[in-house]
Amino acid sequence: MALDSESFELLLPTLQRFIRERLIPAENHLEEHDDVPLDIVQDMKDMGLFGLTVPEAFGGIGLSVSQEVLVNYELGRTAPAFRSVFGTNIGIGSQGILMDGTPEQKAAYLPRVASGELIMSFALTEPDVGTDAASLKTRAELDGDHYVLNGTKRYITNAPRAGAFTLMARTGGPGAGGVSAFIVPADLPGIQLGKPDKKMGQRGTKTCDVILENVRVPAANIIGGVPGQGFKTAMKVLDRGRLNISAVSCGLASRILDEARAYARERKQFGKPIGEFQLIQAMLADSQAELLAGWSLVKDVAARFDLKPPHVSDPEISMQVSCAKLFSTEMVGRVADRGVQIHGGAGYINEYPVERFYRDARLLRLYEGTTQVQQIIIGRELLRTA
Ligand code: COS
């Protein structure tokens, strides 16, 4: 599945212009008001951004993974909160339905996801369950043709905006085999949202707890219709999600590098622009080399991802995705740190974008699997195939 190259070549410059002319100028407003302005959300819907990865048969644009990483690189060049408005929709929120849903589930949800009418969000993490996702505790007990869900989901991105969740709950015994993925409409009785999380960065993204108390969900809402497959669905969704976080990391690194270059040309010390000093050039050079390495890796893994059917998982590809996430997210952390360093004291002042990008970048190493999770996945695969 891919958008024809002629249409994609039109889409990318349109998106670049939208980011340059609409999103970057709105970054300070976003930071101050902790929300994405509604007119920008409407523009995103009009541009089809909510349906980027939904197949054309369901009203979307149907990007391949190689195309999606190019889009995410561009989106990475501005505040991450802009992407988050539709990022869970085309990404981890709806990919479970796309990959493993029944034909009826796809027809019922994907067209509304693609138009932006329905925002979906991904609910895996819990208060006591983060990295060890297979031990999740949210219970789903069968009662006639419904399941009754009880539990709490934590740090759920876009929960306040969501019309439905892809939500993992335990229908069976312990471990991964007891987990099912449900489509849970957000307006079902018994669902409550917690207080908005106050975060270090990424202002404008909305995260909070989702609390479920005796929520009755039709058994027909189990993704794929078969209980016990939900952990695998979640992992497959995260494989693609992690590659997208990697692309965003590279885009953000390129923006930070641009900011640092501009400052190095403009700021004078000892009678000349600081960019003329080799110690500043060394920091710029290290960032450029690492960015190129990360971005080459992401594009390479995306091309491999596209060679397999989207719903089929391949442990080698999962391992390569983890390499991309590990390297790119750690890389952007170093690039952001150097960006602040090149700005000197000014880099610690919120007048300069590098200050907030430094905070924004920190989350990339944590969500959709920490660096240590990626190391576990890589290490296990290396030993499995030794
Ligand atoms: N695609 C498809 N299936 C997968 C898979 C993938 N990428 N990864 C694992 N599976 C399958 C395994 O093949 C295994 O299936 P079988 O039981 O049939 O053999 C099953 O899922 C359990 O896998 P595994 O034994 O590897 O599970 P672990 O409990 O050891 O978990 C980690 C492994 C830690 C890697 C996993 O829990 C993880 O990724 N945790 C982080 C979760 C995360 O990213 N949270 C962020 C929340 S979203 S912002």
Instruction: Tell me the CATH number at 134.
Output: 2.40.110.10
Domain boundary residue, one of 115, 143, 162:
115
Q: Are 311 and 268 part of one and the same domain?
A: yes
For 91-187, where are the alpha helices, taking DSSP H only? 95-100, 103-115
Q: Are 74 and 202 part of one and the same domain?
A: no
Q: Are 80 and 100 part of one and the same domain?
A: yes
Does the beta carbon of 140 sit less than 6 angstroms from any atom of ligand 1?
Answer: no
Q: What is the pLDDT of residues 263-286, one digit of tens each?
A: 999 999 999 999 999 999 999 999
Q: Are 332 and 344 part of one and the same domain?
A: yes
Name which residue sits closest to atom 48 of ligand 1, judged by CA.
368
Residue 20 is classified by DSSP as I
- The CA 212 to ligand 1 mean position distance, Å, reads 24
The answer to whether 107 and 55 have CB atoms below 8 angstroms apart is: no
Residue-number span of the structural domain to which 127 is assigned:
120-228
- The CA 133 to ligand 1 mean position distance, Å, reads 8
Q: Are 33 and 88 part of one and the same domain?
A: yes
Name which residue sits closest to atom 47 of ligand 1, judged by CA.
368
Q: Are 74 and 192 part of one and the same domain?
A: no
- The CA 232 to ligand 1 mean position distance, Å, reads 7
Q: Are 101 and 24 part of one and the same domain?
A: yes
Q: What is the pLDDT of residues 100-119, one digit of tens each?
A: 999 999 999 999 999 989 99
Ligand 1 atom closest to the CA of 242, numbered from 1:
44
In this prediction, the residues of the chain whose per-residue pLDDT falls under 70 are none
Domain boundary residue, one of 96, 115, 134:
115
Q: Are 40 and 126 part of one and the same domain?
A: no
Ligand 1 atom closest to the CA of 377, numbered from 1:
35
Q: Are 239 and 380 part of one and the same domain?
A: yes
**Residue of 100, 210, 231, 376 to mutate, ligand 1, most atoms within 8 A of C-beta:** 231
Q: Are 328 and 376 part of one and the same domain?
A: yes
- The CA 235 to ligand 1 mean position distance, Å, reads 5
- Would you call 386 exposed, middle or buried from its count of C-beta atoms within 10 A (0-12, 13-18, 19+)? exposed
Q: Are 72 and 144 part of one and the same domain?
A: no
Domain boundary residue, one of 115, 142, 175:
115
Instruction: Output the pLDDT for position 311.
Output: 87
1-36 per-residue burial string, b: 16 or more CB within 10 A, e: under 16: bebeeeebeebeeebeebbeebbbebbeebbeeeeb
Instruction: Output the pLDDT for position 288.
Output: 98
Q: What's the total number of domains in the chain?
A: 3
368 among known catalytic residues: yes
CATH code of the domain in which 365 resides: 1.20.140.10
CATH code of the domain in which 44 resides: 1.10.540.10
The answer to whether 166 and 97 have CB atoms below 8 angstroms apart is: yes
Q: Are 301 and 369 part of one and the same domain?
A: yes
Identify the CA nearest to 159 among candidates 190, 125, 193. Answer: 193
Ligand 1 atom closest to the CA of 367, numbered from 1:
49
Does the beta carbon of 135 sit less than 6 angstroms from any atom of ligand 1?
Answer: no
Q: What is the pLDDT of residues 184-212, one digit of tens each?
A: 999 999 999 999 999 999 999 999 999 99
